[in-house]
Amino acid sequence: MSVASAVEAYLAHLTVERGSSANTVRAYRGDLDRYVLHLRERGLDELAAVRETDVGEFVSALRSGPVPLAASSAARALAAVRGLHRFAARDGLVAVDVAKPVTAPALPGRLPATLTVDQVDQLLAGCVGDGPLALRDRALLEVLYSTGARISEAIGIDLDDLDAGERTVLVRGKGGKQRIVPVGRPALAAVDAYLVRARPGLALRGRGTPGLFLNARGARLSRQSAWHVLRGAAEAAGLDPTAVSPHTLRHCFATHLLAGGADVRVVQELLGHASVTTTQIYTHVTVDALREVYATSHPRARG
Catalytic annotation, residues = 150, 174, 247, 250, 273, 282
Angle CA 94–96–101, to nearest 5: 135
